[in-house]
Structure 1
Amino acid sequence: MPDRDWRTRSARLLTAPGRIWWGSLPVRVVGSTLVASALVIALGMFLLLQQATEGVLNGKRRSATAEASIAVDTAQRQLRAADAGTITINDLLTQLTFEVANRGAVSGQYQIIVQGPVSDIRSGRVLPESVPASLREVVTRNAEIGRLWVTPTEVVYADGRPSEPGLAIGANLETPTLARYPIYLIFPLTQEQQTLEVLERAAVSTGVLLVVLLAIIAALVSRQVVAPIREARLQAERVTSGQLDDRMTVRGTDDLASLAMSMNNMAAELQKQISQLEELSRVQHRFVSDVSHELRTPLTTVRMAAEVLHDARESFDPLEQRSVELLQHELDRFEALLGDLLEISRFDAGAAELSREVADLHEVVSQEVEAQRAFAERSGTQLRIHATGPMTAEIDVRRVRRILRNLITNAIEHGEGRPIDIHLAGDDKAVAVAVRDHGVGFEAAHVKQVFHRFWRADPARNRTVGGTGLGLSIAMEDARLHGGWLNAWGRPQQGAQFRLTLPRQAGQVLEISPLPVIPRDLAGVAGRPALEAAPREVGA
C-alpha cells in the first residue's frame, strides 16, 4: 500500500505540469510568450555580442598592428645605429628590448620577447610560453625584414596571475652583421575583455527585464481576452442550469462584444424555445390526461353493454358470437391503452412516485412468472428461472412486477414457442434480472428504439398478445424511477435479452450490473457461472 501511494503521488507530480498547462489558457499564453521572447532575445543578444566582439577585436588588432609596426621600426633603426664593436649583441638586444618596451609600458599596451643568441629576452612578467609555436615557426622560416605576423594567444604571466587572452605579433630584426633575431610583441586584451563583460552583463540584464515585461504584457492581454471568454463560459453554465434570465454585459463594439451579444441572443432564443416547448408539453400532457379521463365514461358504458352481449353470446349466431368476442377483446385492449396513457402522462408530468419496501426479488420474479404461466402454456413456452437464493432490495413491488410482466409477455410473444430463461444475480450494491428469449430478435441498431412509444421492429407484424405499444416505455420509466437500468440486446434469429438492474438501497448510484447484457450462451462463457443455479421449469 505505501508503494502504491508513492507511485500515485509520483504520477501526479509528473503529470502536474501537463494538467496546469492544459488547464489554463492564460498560463499557455504567458508561457508561450515567455519561451518565444526568451528565444528571440537570446538570439538577438548572441548576434549583438558576436558583432560587438568582432568589432572590439578587429579594432584592437588594427591598433596593435599599428603600434607594433612603430615599435619594430624604432627597434630596427636603433639596432642598425648601434656600435656593435663596443657591446655584445646579447646586451644590445636586451637594452633595445627594454627601451622599446618602456615606450609601450607608458600605456601598458604590450610587452616584448626577443629571441636572443643565448636565450629569450623578455621585458616584463610575460613568459615566453605566451608566444604560440606556430608564430615562432612562421617568423623563423621567413627572412623578410619589417613584415609583421599576428595571431591570437593566451598570455601567461610569471607572477602566477591567471592567464588571459591576447594578441601576439612577430617580426624579424636584423643586426649590422646581417644576423636575424625574432621579436614578439604581446598585447593583453584585458581592457577589451572587461568591456565585453560589461556589455554582456548589460545585455543579459536587459534581456531578462524585457522577458519579464513581455510576460506581464502577455498576462494583461490574455486577461483582457480570457475574462470575456470565462464570463461566456459561466453564462453558458448558468443557461445549462436553467438560469435563462441572466445576460452578459456588452462593452464596446469589438469581437468580444459581439460574442457577448451572441451569447445573450442565444440565451434569449433558448428561453423562448424552452418556454414554447414547456407550454406545448403542458398542453400535450393535459390533453392526454383529459382525453383519457373523458374516455372513461363512454368506455364504461360501452363495456357494460358489451358485457351484456358477451354473457348472452351463446344465443347468437356464430358470426354474431365471434363479433361479440372481438368486441370484448378490443375493449380490454382499449382499457389497457387508456391506463398506460394515464401512466405515461404521470411520468411526463413528473408526478410518478415510488412506494418502496424491502422485498425479495427472487420471490417477486417467481410470483410474476406464476401469473404468466397460463399465457406461457397457451404459447407452448417454457419459463425457466436461474437463481441462487433470496436477493433483497428496496423496491416498489408493483412497478417491478409491471416491468417483469412487460418483459416476460414480450418474450413470450416474440419467442416463437422456444424456452425463455430468466436469470437473477446480485452483489453488494445491485440486483439484476435478465429475460432471455430465443425468438425472432431484432437488429442491433434498434436497441434504443425498442423503448420508444408505439415502436415496432416490423410494422407489418400484428400483436398476438394485444399489447398497447407502451409497455417497454413504461418499463424504462419505472426503472429510471428506481435509479436503475433497463438494457436490451438482440440479433435477428438469435433472440433477445432484456436486463433490469436495480440498486439494493434507495439513492445508491449504480456502477456495474451483476449480469452481462449480452446473453451468456453467446458470450463464450464456459460452464455455468457461480451466480446461476439449476433452472427451475415453470409452465408447460
Structure 2
Amino acid sequence: MPVRRALRVVRRYWRVLARHGLQYTAPARRGWRRSLHLRVVTITLVLSSLLVGTFGWFIAAQSANILLSRTQDEISSSMSGKVAYAYRQLTVHPQSRDPELPNTINDTVNELFDGDPAEDGDSVISIRAEHYADLPAVTLPASVDTRQLITPDMIRAVAEQGQVAQQIRTAEVDGATTKYLVYGAPVPTKFGHLELYYMVPLTTEDRAANQIRTTVLVTGIALVILLGVVAGLVTRMVVTPVRVAARTAQRLSAGLLDQRMKVDGEDDLALLAAAFNQMAANLQRQIVRLEEMSRLQRRFTSDVSHELRTPLTTVRMAADLIFSERESFDPAVARSAELLQAELDRFEGLLTDLLEISRFDAGFAALDAEHTDLVPIVERVAERLAGLAERAGVEVELRLPDTPVIAEVDPRRVERVLRNLVGNAIEHAEAKPVIVTMTTDEAAVAITVRDYGIGLKPGEERLVFNRFWRADPSRARQTGGTGLGLSISVEDARLHGGWLEAWGAPGEGSQFRLTLPVRAGDRLVAAPLPLIPRDRPAEVSS
C-alpha cells in the first residue's frame, strides 16, 4: 500500500509538472508551429553547433596528441643520452659495495639535473637501486615526493623486467598540482643494473592545449553565431515574399480583388509573384463574370416570377370557374378540371418559392421578429399536414413541452420551415411514424423531425439543402414539391441566426434539427437536442 500511494503521489506531481510545462512552453511551441523563419534558424543553429562542436573537439584532441607525442619523442631522445651518461659513470665500479659508488650516483644525478634543459618548471631526476638495499635513492630536486610519480607497476617493469617504461602522473609539488611525463629505464652496471627515472612537467603542453581548446571554442561559437545570422538573413529573403503572398491571398479571400504582389527582379521569387498576380487577375475576372451571371440570373428569376403572376391570375380565375362547375361536365372533362386545379396550385407554389429565393439572393429578406409561443406553431403544422399523413399512412407524434416555449422569431418563417420539414418527413417515412420533438434552454430552442424511412446516403446530409436537389428523382412524390423547400428553410434559419442541419443513414431514416436563438441577434453556441437520434441502434452509433 505505501508503494502504491507513493506511485499515486508521483503520478499526481508529474501531471502537475507536465501541465505547468505545457503552459509555460505554449508560446514557444506556438511560435515553432507558425514561424518557418524560426524553425529554419533554430535547425541551422542546432546542426551547425553539433557539426562545429564535433570538428572542434577532434581538432583540439588531435592538437593535444601531437603536442604530447612531440614531447614524448624529445624526452625519449634525452632519456637515451642520460642513460648512456649514467652508464659511463657507473660502470667504473665493480661491485655495489664500493664505498665510492654512492658519491658517483650523487655526482651523476647532479650532472644530469644541471644539464636538463626543461622549462616551465623543473624536471625531476632520480636514480634508484631497488635490488640493492645498501644503495640509497638519489632524487633532485629533493623536495619532490617521487612516490606520487613512480608507481609500483613502473618500478616492477624497470627494476625486475629491465624494460623502458613511461606514464603520465599528477603530483602535488610546492602546493600546486602538476602533470608529469615519467620515463624509467634500467642502467646496466658490472654488478647488475640501477634504475634511472626522468620526470618532465607537462605545463607548457597543457597550456598550449588549453589555448588551442579556447581558440577552437571561441572560433566555433563565433562561427555558429555567424551561420545563424546568415541563415536568418537568407531565410528572411525567402520567407518575406511568402508572407506577402499569404497576406495578399487573405485580402483576396476577403473580397479585395485588386490586391497584387510586387514583382522585383527576374529570379524564382519574382516568377512566383508574377504567377500569383496572374492567378489573382484571372480569379478577379472569373468572379466578376460569375457575379454578373448570378445577378442576371437573380434578375431573370425575379422578373419571370413577377411577369408570370399576371397570366397566372387570369388562368387561376378561369380554372376556379371551371373547377366549381365540374359536376355538370362529363367525367373526363371533370377529371381534367381537377388536374388543372392541382397543377395550378403547384405552379403557384413554384412561383412563390422562386420569388422568396430571389428576395434572399437580393438581400431583401427581412425578419419580422416578435415574441412567439412555438408550441402552437408546431401543433398547427401537424394539424394542416394531417390529411397528407393520413393518405401516406404515417402517424405524426408530437413531443412538446407542457409549458409555453417563448422565443423572439418570425412566426411565418418558422411555420414555413416546420411545414417543409414535417412534409418531407411524411413523404419519405414509408408508412412509419414521424416524431417531432421540441426542447429549450436559456439560450436556444431546438426542434427535431425524425423519420424512419429510407434515410440519407453518406454526404447527402449536405446536399439536401441545395436548390432543386432530390435524393431519388424517380420516387413518386406525394406533395408535388418544387425542390426549393429546404433551400428556403435553411435561408429562413440563417436569417434568424440559427441552424438547420440534417442527419441520415441508409435504412435508419433521417433527422432534421432546427435550432433558433431565444433572443433575436444572440449567437448560438450549442443546441438543446442532439443531431444524431438517441434511438439509433447502439451497435451502429458506436
TM-score (norm 1): 0.90
- Partner of 2:301: helix, strand, or coil? helix
Give the whole-Å Cα distance in 1 for the aligned partners of 2:138 and 2:446.
106
Q: CA deviation at 1:161?
A: 2.3
Provide the C-alpha distance between the structure 2 equivalents of 1:24 and 1:335, rounded to a whole number of angstroms: 59
Which residue identity is paired with 1:367?
Answer: R
C-alpha separation between the residues in 2 aligned to 1:80 and 1:118? 15
Please tell me whether the aligned partners of residues 131 and 153 of structure 1 are also in contact (alpha carbons under 8 angstroms).
no
2:471 — aligned with what?
A: 457
CA distance in 1, matches of 2:337, 2:64: 114
The amino acid that maps onto 1:151 is Q
Q: 2:187 aligns with which of 161, 173, 188?
A: 173
- Determine the structure 1 residue equivalent to 2:140: 123
**What SS does the aligned partner of 1:451 have?**
coil
1:50/1:465 CA distance change after superposition, 3 Å: same
Instruction: Tell me, in whole angstroms, the C-alpha distance in 2 between the residues paired with 1:62 and 1:419.
Output: 104
2:103 aligned to which of 79, 86, 91? 91
Mapping of residues 517-532 of structure 1, within 5 Å: 517-524=531-538
One of 335, 348, 351 as aligned partner of 1:335: 348
Q: Is the 8 A contact 1:152 1:165 kept in 2?
A: no
Distance 1:523 1:140, change over 3 A: same
| Structure 2 match to 1:201 | 214
The CA RMSD measured in Å over matched residues stands at 2.5
Contact in 1 for aligned 2:94/2:191 (Cα 8 Å): no
Residue of structure 2 equivalent to 1:287? 300
Q: SS state of the match for residue 176, structure 2?
A: coil
Match of 1:66 in 2: 77
Residue 250 in structure 1 maps to residue 263 in structure 2:
yes
Partner of 2:4: none
Of 35, 38, 63, which aligns to 2:46?
A: 35
Q: What residue is the counterpart of 2:113 in the other structure?
A: 101
Matched, 1:507 2:518: no
**1:481-503: per-residue Cα shift (whole Å, max 9, x none)?**
22222122334454332211112
Provide Cα deviations, 1:444-490, integer angstroms capped at 9, x if missing partner: 44222222222222222232222222111111111122222212233
Output aligned runs, 1:310-329, within 5 Å.
310-329=323-342
Provide closer, same or farther for how the CA distance between residues 251 and 514 of structure 1 changes in structure 2, counting only shifts above 3 A.
same
Contact 2:171 2:179 in 1 (8 A): no
Which position in structure 1 is the counterpart of 2:484?
A: 470
Instruction: State the one-letter code of the partner of 2:327.
Output: E
Between 198-207 and 4-13, the greater mean CA deviation after superposition: 4-13
1:140 pairs with 2:156: no
Q: Determine helix, strand or coil for the equivalent of 1:152.
A: strand
Matched, 1:12 2:26: no
| Alpha-carbon distance in structure 1 between the residues aligned to 2:431 and 2:283 | 51
**Which stretch of the first structure deviates more once superposed, 332-341 or 358-367?**
358-367
Deviation at 1:371, TM superposition (A): 3.0
How much does 1:69 deviate? 1.7
In structure 1, how many angstroms separate the alpha carbons of the residues matched to 2:408 and 2:537?
Answer: 31
For residues 192-232 of structure 1, the C-alpha deviation after alignment (integer angstroms, 9 at most, x for no partner) is 11111111111111111111111111111111111101101
What is the Cα deviation at residue 280 of structure 1? 0.3
Quick one: structure 1 residues 135 and 416, their matched pair in 2 at CA, closer, same or farther if it must change by over 3 Å? closer
Contact 1:414–1:440 under 8 Å retained in 2: yes
Deviation string, structure 1 residues 369-424 (Cα, Å, up to 9, x no partner)? 23333443444443221122322222111111000111122222233443321101
Whether 2:127 is the aligned partner of 1:114: answer: yes
- Give the equivalent residue in structure 1 for 2:171: 156
- Alpha-carbon spacing, 1:264–1:66, altered in 2? closer, same or farther (3 Å): same
8 Å contact from structure 1 (residues 132, 153) kept in 2: no
Q: Please give the per-residue CA displacement for 1:41-75, whole angstroms capped at 9, x wherever unaligned.
A: 11111221122112111110111111122222222
Which amino acid is 1:154 matched to?
Answer: R
Distance 1:343 1:402 in 2: 12
**1:158–1:314 distance in 2 versus 1, CA, 3 Å:** closer
Change (3 A) 1:464 1:260: same
* Residue 312 of structure 1, CA deviation: 1.7
Distance in 2 between residues matched to 1:506 and 1:486, nearest whole Å? 16
Q: Which residue of 2 aligns with 1:78?
A: 89
Classify 1:27/1:285 alpha carbon distance in 2 versus 1 (closer, same or farther; 3 Å). same
Aligned counterpart for 1:51 among listed residues 62, 65, 71: 62
Contact 2:427–2:478 under 8 Å retained in 1? yes
Query: How many angstroms apart in 1 are the aligned matches of 2:18 and 2:107?
Result: 79
Aligned-pair identity in percent equals 43
Extract unaligned runs of 5+ from structure 1: 526-540
**For residues 392 and 208 of structure 1, do their structure 2 counterparts lie closer, same or farther at Cα, with a shift above 3 Å needed?**
same
Show the counterpart of 2:239. Answer: 226
From 22, 25, 36, give the equivalent of 2:33: 22
Q: Measured at CA, do residues 269 and 29 of structure 1 come closer, stay the same or move farther in structure 2, by a change above 3 Å?
A: same
Question: Contact 1:126–1:155 at 8 Å: present in 2 too?
Answer: no
Gaps of 5+ in 2: 1-12
Contact 2:93/2:101, CA 8 A, preserved across alignment: no
Aligned to 1:535: none
Cα-to-partner distance string for 1:268-294 (whole Å, 9 max, x where unaligned): 011000000000000100100111111
Match of 2:140, as an amino acid?
A: S
2:328 aligned partner, one-letter code? S
Instruction: Tell me how far apart the structure 1 counterparts of residues 252 and 116 of structure 2 sit (CA, whole Å).
Output: 86
Question: For residue 54 of structure 2, what is the amino acid of its counterpart?
Answer: L
Match of 1:297 among 310, 334, 357: 310
Q: Distance in 2 between matches of 1:90 and 1:357?
A: 127
- The aligned amino acid for 2:436 is I
> 2:329 & 2:192 partners in 1: Cα distance?
158
What is the rounded CA distance, in whole Å, between the counterparts of 2:164 and 2:343 in structure 1? 122
- Of the structure 1 ranges 288-297 and 82-91, higher mean CA displacement relative to structure 2 is found in 82-91
Q: Name the SS of the counterpart of 1:333 in structure 2.
A: helix
For the 8 Å contact 2:157–2:165, the answer to whether it is kept is no
Cα pair 1:361 1:393 within 8 Å, conserved: yes
Q: Secondary structure at the match of 2:249?
A: helix
What letter matches 1:278 in structure 2? E
Is the CA contact (8 Å cut-off) linking 1:313 and 1:324 kept in structure 2?
Answer: yes
- Between the aligned partners of 1:419 and 1:106, the Cα distance in structure 2 is 110
Which residue does the alignment assign to 1:488? 502
- Name the count of aligned residue pairs: 517
Note the 1:309-458 alignment, pairs <5 A. Answer: 309-388=322-401, 389-458=403-472
| Letter paired with 1:26 | H
Kept in 2: contact 1:150–1:167 (CA 8 A): no
Q: Aligned partners of 1:27, 1:231: CA distance in 2, in Å?
A: 17
TM-superposed deviation, 1:169: 1.6
Q: Spell out, residue by residue over 1:62-108, the C-alpha distance to the aligned partner (whole angstroms, 9 max, x if none).
A: 11111122222222222335799984422331232122111116745
